[in-house]
Amino acid sequence: MSQVVQDAASIAGGRSQARPVRPEEAARGKLDYVQVADWGDGDRSKLGDLRLVSLTPQYEGVASGSGAPGAAASASPGPGASGGGGASGGGAAPQPFHMQLAHQLKLAEWSFREARYVQYLADSLEVHSALEDALRQAATFAVAATADAAAGAGADPAAAAAAAAASPPATAAAAAARPAAAAGPPPAHLALLHLAPGRLGLERSAALRADLSALRATSGSLAAGAAPGTAATAGAGAAAGEAAAAAAGGAPPKGAAARRRDDVYDCTAGPMARSYAHVLRRLGRVASGGESEQERQDGALRLLAHAAVLHLTGQAAAVRCGAAAADRLGLLQRRAAATYHQYPDGVRDPRVTLAAALDAAGAALAPAGPTARQVVFDELAGAMQKTGLLMAALAHRD
């Protein structure tokens, strides 16, 4: 409470642009892109004192107690919830942000038929495979550039390359303090090293392939634990259709239902996913083989924005979709939920791992200055739009 009073006094005196957090605003969920002039001394407790250069509102959830259905209902109190909170219906705590996001997206109305979910996985696989390919290309260039710089300075190129791949600078001070001979690749490529496949540990292409294989292997199995309207019921319906056709004297060829099931699991990525994958692979080629240093730098910066958004979305909206699919398609019983929980041993909490990697990437990018940060910032909105389109396969009512 004393901190709130201090903040209010600071604002009243005109010494800060920050204001106290309003619980009703924090409860409803909000996402803004902000750009600051600089990060000061890096003290997170002083974030409210940073000078904003720009602010772009991106998402704002429904306010608890605003009359929107389900905005503050049926939620158990979480840490820090106030017993007399702002909801009017008996003091119910506001829903967590991810539950409000599901309400805003109306996930309860989305189609999680197996065919649509398989298409969603196929689209996601196409895009994540392309992202990993692009990041590998950029990382290979970064390591090679480090080796070249070391050789030019008379150092051991192999050792320098190994050091760059294993331990890129994790703080702005470390990035700025690197000797010129060891500088090697530009900051954008050093930032990408923190997200490189094999280092980050959050790559999803292998898990997506495993889930697609598991769904195929358990398709049509009534013992799979799938909910009504899923693959099990679809398989039973197809069998019933064949029986009815046979009784009418027009039995379909033997195995027609099996062939229809194979068609579901042999689907390829849709046009939007293929288009996005093309963009990512092109950025990887530009970042590693552009004709000029500036072209390579811009390609790496734009790729950094897409990598960040894809991984952030994977830990938020994609996990929420996965939870809904698990309920309706029996993913856990069918061992088809690797995308949402299978990570290397070194990744205890993927959200913590991702936050640390993005912080380190930002620190590595710091020496490039505000112009480089602006390139990343400008790419974020397009990256979010393209990533959001991956859910188009599920956003249907049927």
Output the DSSP codes for 215-277: HHHTTT-GGG-PPTTSHHHHHHHHHHHHHHHHHTT-PPPTTHHHHHHHHHHTPPPPHHHHHHH
Distance CA 211, CA 227 (A): 18
- What is the secondary structure of 308-347 as a DSSP string? HHHHHHHTTHHHHHHHHHHHHH-TTTTT--HHHH---TT-
Non-local (6+) Cβ contacts of 316 within 8 A are 98, 101
Q: Give me the amino acid identity at 396.
A: H
The answer to whether the beta carbons of residues 182 and 150 sit under 8 Å apart is: yes
- Stated as kind and residue range, the H or E segment containing 289 is helix 271-289
Please write the tens of the pLDDT for every residue from 153-189: 444 444 444 444 455 555 544 444 444 444 567 899 9
Residue 260 pLDDT: 56
Q: Is the dihedral of CA 88, 25, 62, 112 positive or negative?
A: negative
In order, the DSSP letters of 38-93 are --TT--GGGGGGSPEEEEEEEEE-PPTTSS-TTSSSS----TT--TT-S-TTTSPP
Which residue segments constitute the domains of the chain, with CATH numbers given?
122-135+188-221+266-397 (1.20.910.10)
209: which residues sit within 8 A by CB, 6+ positions away? 125
Q: What is the DSSP string of 348-388?
A: S-HHHHHHHHHHHHHHHHGGG-HHHHHHHHHHHHHHHHHHH
> For position 126, what pLDDT does the model report?
97
What mean pLDDT do residues 364-385 have?
93
User: How confident is the model over 309-322, as pLDDT tens digits?
Assistant: 999 999 988 888 89
List the structure tokens of 115.
Answer: 């065919």
Tens digit of pLDDT for each residue in 104-118?
566 667 778 899 999
Q: What is the band of 100 on the pLDDT scale with cuts at 50, 70, 90? A: low
CA angle 4, 8, 12 (to 5 degrees): 170
Please, which pLDDT band fits residue 39 given cuts at 50, 70 and 90? low
The first and second tokens of residue 391, run together, are 């859910």
Please say if the pLDDT value at position 10 is more than 80: no
Residues 317-331 as b or e (16 or more Cβ within 10 Å = b): bbbbbbbbbbebbbb
Asked if 256 and 220 count as a contact pair (C-beta separation under 8 A), the reply is: no
pTM of the model: 0.66
